[in-house]
Structure 1
Amino acid sequence: MAGPALGISLAPLIRSSPTLSKIFTPVATWYAGGSLYRQYGLLYDDLLIEERPEVQKALARLTPRQAYDRAFRIKRASHADVLHAPLPRELWTKPEDDVRYLLPHVEGVVAELKEREKWDTLTVERK
């Protein structure tokens, strides 16, 4: 997640260009399939580093159901990892089910922190 942390992302450019999209989509699909987190039933957002303050605040904004589902996926994946075997194929996360449920909250927190910084450093000048 180095790109979003730095505010740099090529995703909008790639999505807007049919040629770049045609080139990078198969590579992205191959990479996501090879990263193995789906074989353990995890979603991509389950891999975000929880120790970051903005992720902590975003986790607090999840609905109770989302928080429960996330904890269940992580616990099930940890158990499978201890057994040194991925989950059965029918429990793998399908690519169409791998939605970004936490990223919108993280982006909201980051935007709020930037706005707070802006207002906290505001200087008032007399005319």
Structure 2
Amino acid sequence: MASKSISLANYIQSSPTLLKLIKPVANAYAHAAGYRQFGLRYDDLLEEENFQTQKALSRLEPPESYDRVFRFRRAVQCSIANKPLPKEEWIKPSEDVRYLTPLLEEIQRADDERHAWDTASVKKDH
């Protein structure tokens, strides 16, 4: 039986006190990273050269896929001009929701299950 691992993020989110302490630090870090000032969301930064990421991208609904391309094009234009977006167009923390991560987790679970079935061994009782 596989042991269930607990991620640090899940542990922090399960503790209201810890979340209250960590959330401002996390928001400050995201602000310092600068991707929101260019109109990008966190999941836009995930490595695309990964097979699982490519699979997840292919599962995006057309509107979300269009929005992703739009965010990239706008960010490239800002980068070329060497200027972030006007402050009112920055991605707000409430808008920076994970849209690709749930798909990646679903794909990982399916791959893990497939691997478990592919490597299952059958023992015959005598």
Question: Is TM > 0.5 for Structure 1 vs Structure 2?
Answer: yes
2:82 to 62, 81, 84: 84
**Are residue 71 (structure 1) and residue 69 (structure 2) matched?**
yes
Match of 2:17 in 1: 19
- Offset, 1:112: 0.6
Instruction: Extract structure 1 runs of 4+ deviating beyond 3 A.
Output: none
Partners in 2 of 1:17 and 1:65 — Cα distance? 34
Partners in 2 of 1:13 and 1:65 — Cα distance? 33
Match of 1:45 in 2: 43
2:59 to 43, 58, 61: 61
**TM-score normalised according to structure 2 size:** 0.89
- Offset, 1:102: 0.7
Partners in 1 of 2:87 and 2:12 — Cα distance? 31
- Offset, 1:95: 1.2
CA RMSD of aligned residues (A): 1.4
15-24 or 98-107: which moved more? 15-24
Q: Look up the SS of the partner of 1:45 in the other structure.
A: helix
Partners in 2 of 1:103 and 1:16 — Cα distance? 19
Partners in 2 of 1:47 and 1:54 — Cα distance? 15
1:7-62 residue CA offsets vs partner (Å, 9 max, x unmatched):
76211211222332222111111111111100000111100100111111100100
Stretches of structure 1 lacking an aligned partner (at least 5 in a row): 1-6
Stretches of structure 2 lacking an aligned partner (at least 5 in a row): none
1:48-101 residue CA offsets vs partner (Å, 9 max, x unmatched):
100111111100100111111101101110111111111112221111111111
Partners in 2 of 1:14 and 1:74 — Cα distance? 31
Q: How do 1:115-126 and structure 2 match up within 5 A?
A: 115-126=113-124
Q: What is the aligned residue count?
A: 121
What is the percentage of aligned positions where both structures have the same residue? 51
Partners in 2 of 1:8 and 1:47 — Cα distance? 24
